[in-house]
Structure 1
Amino acid sequence: MHEMVKGANVDLADLSEDIDSVALGLSWTSAAGDGDADVSVLLLDAGGKVRGDADFFFYNNPAAADGSVQLLGKTPTADGSEDRISLDLTAMPSDVERIVVGASRYGGARFGELDGLRVTLADRAGEVLLGFSIDDAGVESAFIFGEIYRRGGGWRFRAVGQGYETGLAGLATDFGIDVEDDAGDDAGDDAENDTGDTAGDTAGAGTGGEETAVPDAAPEPGRTAEPLPAVPGQRDRRAAAGPAPAAEAAAPAGEQAPVRTRRPRTARKKVTLPRVARKSLAENDSWRQARLFPVSSLKSDREREMRATSILLSVMAQVPEFGRRLTAAFGAPAGRMETFTEVSLPHGDSPKRPDGVIRVERAGKLWTALVETKTNGNPLKAEQVQDYMDIAARRGYEAVITLSNDVALEGSPLVDVRIDRRRKHKVALRHLSWAEVAHQAQMLIRHEGVGNAAHAWLLQELLHYLQHENSGCHGFQNMGPSWVPVRNAIDEETICQGDQRALEVVGSWERLIRQVCLRLGGELGQKVLPVQRVRRGADPQSRRAALADGLCRDGRLHAELRIEGTPGILAVTADLRTGRLRTSIEVPAPEQGYPLSWAKRLIRQLAEAPADLHVETLVEGEGGGPRGTLERLRPEPGDLLPGDGARITGFRLSLLKGMGSTRGNAETGFIRSVDDAVHRFHAGVVTHLERRPSRRPGAEAPTG
């Protein structure tokens, strides 16, 4: 990997022969585990300015219609999390000379509070070509990490590392994006109902003014206002805008009111589906609705694999947004996609039959991937995947994609394959879990939107199939063969540090937590990521070994989840000695007001929370504060105040439940209980807490 310093540049063609499509990763860590930032991409012309509003890509406009840019979202890493961007350089418009890649923080946060600011660039095969670390971040609230620019018919990368104290607005202004102070436009988007209608075009998004919408800006003098191209998945709010603004209504007779240009809205979209089910026309409850993908007839694992592969690949080909979402991270371009199942390819004495093939055509070029699928608890076979890697390398295919209920971990491949580095053509081995497939379908049909109603219906049918108990596509379901022996050894106090079985259990726990994040994030339409509290550069295997030693010593498995917009980190602890699960969150004390008012407000917020919720006051110093169940504290919130007048720093809210269940094996029971505990705690407790602002108001809100 080519390590770069600030200001240096390099020709991408000198690093790889396969740079038609590249993937950038922007990463950072936080000692507190809650540091976050948002990436953005700007396409610039020869004059160093955006050509128009559509050249600004961010969380509300995550993809270009031509597939040249796609924001892929965050993925957990050993050091924290990484925000990924896919760039198809062959699809980049000819008048785009520079591609600027940056990130911004919000809510008054600064990049100096984060560690390990870094950008990496990988080629189509996934091989990391270069890296650049920013070590001098301070009070900046926005940073340009790097830029890709044309030179001599090719593309080069420059390590920039330029910061802005004025945030995203300051960065955007440099590249021709107008900015207005919209601090006064925080009238909430509370009028938005389940169908997405709003009370006005200038209303801020979010409840209680938590987010700030960007007002439309007038066009520059001498320019004709043009409407902004539709942002993917974003609704047009103007239809519900109501009467014309007063200033427009008061325009003098004979003069045309100024036309307002629609600008990118930086407030996140909050789209929810109606929760009330439609009345059924069936005569009785025993009737089952006809489904496009039936599952009742499936009897064998082979049937499940063939059905699941065919259904998934066909929906990917018919719903462009979905197919692109699943393949962009693997280096596939945006183009015409065709999928095939049960193909036969020559290999040695006998042909091999991969479960599927994906082919994407763009500008006369083909991107091809072989697909190997497993359902239920069936593991991937290393020799089978090795054969497909060899076939792909020989035939010039770009990737082999494995798909199973297992979840891949960084630094711990699901299958070990031999890669011949002497081959000129490199093949990427990538993995998808069925839980991730369901997550992406859920995000599109419930939160982000797809092209038309038929596509949404297809995705809904796919999701129904994947979630059916007979499909075999349920996600991670087994804690592995070491789970029961480790539980028994902990109960008998016979396990020692360094036990390899404990390391296997820690790996299974990490897989389970990542799947819980996928499921919860799909339901909420928000980023949910596991928090990694490790120092930069820590080896994943060393980190898991340390966690395994802690399991042997304390008998506990612990994880933390960061949910976008929540006031704290959701912690999950499985105590294998007591057989109990604890879910908790620490809520910081307000900066103003009186402690008794804080306690009363907290109890009011938790009016609908479970009565057995434990509430503990956190005080300055090592000692703990008063605690009690919500049922006991409701009539007397003042019991949360420490008697010695110690300074209150926050409150810890906790729920306890037993592990496992009376049905199924111990592995399935434990996994189900963890999933249920997290969802119950979020729905019953976290949703009632005051959310922190997701975006800085005022000058940091660019209008494009």
Structure 2
Amino acid sequence: MREMSKGSNVGLAELSGETGAVIARLGWSSASADGDADVSVLLLGAHGKVRGDGDFYFYNHPAADDGSVQLLGKTPTDNGSEDRIGLDLAATPADVERIVLAASRYGGAGFGDLEDLRLTLADRGGEELLGFSVDGLGEMRAVIFAELYRRDGGWKFRAVGQGYDTGLAGLATDFGIDVDDAEEADEAEEADGAGPPGEATAEVEPVPPVPAVPAVPKRPRTARKKVTLPAVARKSLAENDSWHQARLFPCGSLKSDRERETRATSVLLAVMAQVPEYGRRLTAGFGAPAGRMETFTEVTLPHGETPRRPDGLVRVERAGKLWTALVETKTNGNALRAAQVQDYMDIAARRGYEAVVTVSNDVALDGSPPVDVRIDGRRKHKVALWHLSWAEAAHQAQMLIRHEGVGNAAHAWLLQELLSYLQHDNSGCHGFQNMGPAWVPVRKGIDEETLCEGDARAVEVVASWERLIRQVCLRLGGELGQKVLPVQRVKRGTDPLARRASQADQLCRDGRLEAELRIQDVPGVLALTADLRTGRLRTSIEVPVPEQGQPLTWAKRLMRQLADAPADIHVETLTDGQANGPRGTLERLRPEPADLLPRDGARITGFRLSLFKGMGSRRGSAETGFIRSVDEAVDRFHATVVLALERRTPTPRKAAPAALLGAGA
């Protein structure tokens, strides 16, 4: 990988022969764990300005119709988070001379608060070509990290690193986009009846116009007319519960793992081909171009004396060129077999296919597939190996039909049927559901105090815990329509294996598994602790106090916010950032909020709210299993505490590019 410095440039053809499509990744870490940034892309003509407002791609306008630009969203890394952009350079219009890659922060935050800021560029196969680290940005609220530009019939990359203290609005203005001030944006919102979104319906209805500059905590919403479906189905016309609605994809009769794999593969690939938004959402992350998609199942391909039959095949055609991926699926917790995947990698390499995609209940860690394969470096043609979890497939379907919308009601219904299938008890597509064979001996070792540091089984449990937390984020994010990411408080470059070994040693010493989740637009971090010694789960969040006001006023306001919360919620007063102040349950504190005030007059910095529940002991996801208890703990805490805090917290308004207000309405 080539390391770039500010102002340097390089031709993409010098780095790889697979640069017809590339993926840009902006990564960062944050000591406070609440740092965030949003990528954006501008397409510029020969005059150095956008050709029109449609050339500005950001959170509210994430994809080009021709597939040349696709914002792929945020994903956790071992060192923090990264936001990804897919660029199909071959599909970029001929009159686009430059592609600007930028990012911005909201709420007045500057990039100086983020650490390890780094932009990397990878080819279609996922191989990193170059990297550009940026520092010294201070209070800059928007940054142009790099640009791609045409030169001599090819594309070149230039490292820029230019900051804007005026945020995304200032950056957009420089490239030809008009920006309203906050008052004008507010008037436009009020004229169109903007307000908090109500319950989604299956009817096509206008969505409130949205600001395009993510400069405050509340994120923008799409302003295009889309079709979504209600989270709660209409009342059934059935006479009793024994009547079941007819399903497009029934799975009640599935008897064997092979039947489940065959049906699940066919269902998933069929919906990908028929619902463009969904198919593109999944394949863009695999480096596929945007184009006409066809999918196939049970394809027979020659391989020595014994032909092989991968579970499926995806083919995308664009401008006469084909992109092809073989698909191997597993359901019901069955593990992928390395030898089988290796055969498919070899077949794909010989036939000139671009990728092999594995689909299973397992969740990939470190950005790597859950199986190891050998890559023959002597082969000129490279094949990328990607992994998709069933939880991710369900998450993307839920995001589209519940929150972001699809083009028509038929597509929304197809996605609803897919989601119903994946969530059915008999489908075998429920995501990560087993803490692994090391779970029972590790729990026993902690109970008996015989588990020693360096035990490999503890490392296995830590890895399973990390997979579970990532799946919790996918599930919760799909239900909320918000980004939910696990927090990693480590420096970029930290070896993930060494990090898990350190966490495993900590587990051996104190018997606790710990994780933190950052929910979009929610101040603070949701912390989750599983104490294997006591068998209790603790979910908590720290609430900072206002900059002004009196301590007793803060305590009374908190009690009002939590008026409907469970009486067994624990409240701790934080003094100077430490949980060493008064504490008690809501049941005791509601009549006497003053009991939260320190007797010694110490300065209050916030309150910590916690909810405790019993922890399942079994390693699986059954009703008495550990995984089920973690899901229930997070859901209950979010519904009764986090939402109660959100509902009573006023959200400030935002400014927006004028041309984008009401766009598509």
Per the alignment, residue 37 of structure 1 pairs with 37
| Partner residue in 2 for 1:265 | none
Which residue matches 2:106?
106
What is the identity, as a one-letter code, of the residue corresponding to 1:316?
Answer: M
Q: Which residue of 389, 399, 408 maps to 2:364?
A: 408
Q: Which residue of 2 aligns with 1:697?
A: 654
Write out aligned runs for 1:490-505 (5 A): 490-505=446-461
Query: Deviation digits for residues 622-641 of structure 1, max 9, x if unmatched?
Result: 56111111111112111111
Letter in 2 for 1:644: D
Q: How many residues align?
A: 651
SS at match of 1:326: helix
Mapped pair 1:76 → 2:76: yes
Check the 8 A contact 2:228/2:401 in 1, yes or no. no
Provide the rounded CA distance (Å) in 1 between the counterparts of 2:207 and 2:322. 46
TM-aligned CA distance change 1:97 to 1:200, over 3 Å:
closer
- TM-score w.r.t. the length of structure 2 is 0.94
Q: Secondary structure at the match of 2:328?
A: strand
Identity %: 75
Distance 1:652 1:100 in 2: 42
- 1:106-129 deviation line (CA, Å, top 9, x unaligned): 111010011011100000111000
Measure the CA separation in 2 of the matches of 1:522 and 1:211: 18
Query: Does the 8 Å contact 1:617/1:650 carry over to 2?
Result: yes
- The answer to whether the 8 A contact 1:212-1:696 is kept is no
Q: Structure 1 residues 185, 633: CA separation in 2 closer, same or farther (over 3 Å shift)?
A: farther
Cα displacement string for residues 153-186 of structure 1 (whole angstroms, at most 9, x for unaligned residues): 1000100000011111111111001112124654
1:322 aligns with 2:290: no
**1:206-245 mapped onto 2 (5 Å cutoff):** 211=218, 234-236=223-225
- The 10-residue stretch of structure 1 (667-676 or 373-382) with the greater mean CA deviation from structure 2: 667-676
8 Å contact kept, 1:567–1:690? no
Q: Partner residue of 1:251?
A: none
Q: Is 2:616 the partner of 1:660? A: yes
Counterpart amino acid of residue 559 in structure 2: I
Question: How far, CA to CA, are the matches of 1:175 and 1:697 in structure 2?
Answer: 20
State the alpha-carbon separation in 2 of the partners of residues 394 and 191 from structure 1.
54
Question: Which amino acid in structure 2 is aligned with residue 87 of structure 1?
Answer: L
Runs of 4+ in 1 over 6 A off after TM superposition: 196-206, 661-668, 691-696, 699-702
Q: In the alignment, does 2:363 pair up with 1:358?
A: no
**Which residue among 307, 311, 315 is the counterpart of 2:263?**
307
Which residue does the alignment assign to 1:247? none
- Please name the residue that 1:634 is paired with: 590
1:699 to partner: Cα distance: 7.7
Aligned runs of 1:546-625 on 2, under 5 Å? Answer: 546-620=502-576, 624-625=580-581
2:329 matched residue in structure 1: 373
8 Å CA contact retained: 2:28, 2:116: yes
Q: What amino acid sits opposite 1:630 in the alignment?
A: L
Question: Does the CA contact (< 8 Å) of 1:399 and 1:429 recur in 2?
Answer: yes
77 and 702 in structure 1: CA distance in 2 versus 1, 3 angstrom threshold: farther
| Structure 2 counterpart SS, 1:654 | strand
Q: Is the 8 A contact 1:398 1:427 kept in 2?
A: yes
Residue deviations 1:300-322 (CA, integer Å, cap 9, x gap): 00000000000000000000110
Are residue 190 (structure 1) and residue 195 (structure 2) matched?
A: yes
TM value normalised by structure 1: 0.89
What is the CA distance between 1:15 and its match in structure 2? 0.3
The gaps in structure 2 that reach 5 residues or longer are: none
Structure 2 residue 389 is the aligned partner of structure 1 residue 389 = no
Corresponding residue of 1:264: none
Q: 2:210·2:656 contact (CA, 8 Å) conserved in 1?
A: no
Deviations 1:214-267 (A, max 9, x none): xxxxxxxxxxxxxxxxx9x64459xxxxxxxxxxxxxxxxxxxxxxxxxxxxxx
SS of 2:305 mapped into structure 1:
coil
Number of the residue aligned with 2:294: 338
Contact 1:185 1:212 in 2 (8 A): no
CA displacement, residues 379-414 of structure 1 (integer Å, 9 cap, x when unaligned)? 000100000000000000000000000001007641
Q: What is the deviation of 1:584?
A: 0.3
Q: Give the C-alpha shift of residue 532 in structure 1.
A: 0.3
| AA of the residue aligned to 1:291 | R
Structure 1 CA distance for aligned equivalents of residues 293 and 426 of structure 2: 29
Q: Report the CA distance shift for 1:537/1:665 in structure 2 as closer, same or farther (over 3 A).
A: closer
Letter in 2 for 1:155: W
Please give the alpha-carbon distance, in whole angstroms, between the structure 1 residues aligned to 2:109 and 2:564.
Answer: 32
The reply on whether 1:685 has 2:641 as its aligned counterpart is yes
Q: Which region of structure 1 is more displaced relative to structure 2, 533-542 or 339-348?
A: 533-542
In 2, distance between residues paired with 1:236 and 1:445? 13
Distance 2:259 2:225 in 1: 44
Report the 3-state secondary structure (helix = DSSP H, G, I; strand = E; otherwise coil) of the residue aligned with 2:599.
coil
Aligned mates of 2:75, 2:564 — CA distance in 1: 33
- 2:2 matched to which residue of 1? 2
Alpha-carbon distance, 1:597 to partner: 1.1
Deviation at 1:7, TM superposition (A): 0.4
1:424-503 matched pairs, under 5 angstroms? 424-503=380-459
1:665–1:463 Cα change, 3 Å: closer
Is the alpha carbon distance of 1:598 and 1:210 closer, same or farther for their aligned partners in structure 2, counting shifts above 3 Å? same
The residue type equivalent to 2:421 in the other structure is: Y
CA distance in structure 2 between the partners assigned to 1:696 and 1:74 by the alignment: 24
3-state SS, counterpart of residue 90 of structure 1 = helix
Displacement of 1:472 = 0.2
Task: Give the Cα separation in 1 of the matches to 2:50 and 2:276.
Answer: 27
C-alpha change, 1:384 and 1:613, in structure 2 (3 Å) is same
Task: Indicate if the aligned counterparts of 1:168 and 1:702 stay in contact, CA closer than 8 A.
Answer: no
Cα RMSD (Å) of the superposition?
2.5
Ranges in structure 1 where 5+ consecutive residues have no aligned partner: 214-230, 238-270
Give distance in 1, aligned partners of 2:388 and 2:438.
24
Decide whether aligned partners of structure 1 residues 508 and 20 sit closer, same or farther in structure 2, where only a CA change above 3 A counts: same
8 Å CA contact 1:487–1:576 kept in 2: the answer is yes
CA distance in 1, matches of 2:500, 2:180: 48
Secondary structure at the counterpart of residue 421 of structure 1: coil
Query: Does structure 1 conserve the Cα–Cα contact (< 8 Å) formed by 2:620 and 2:627?
Result: no
SS in 2 for 1:330: coil
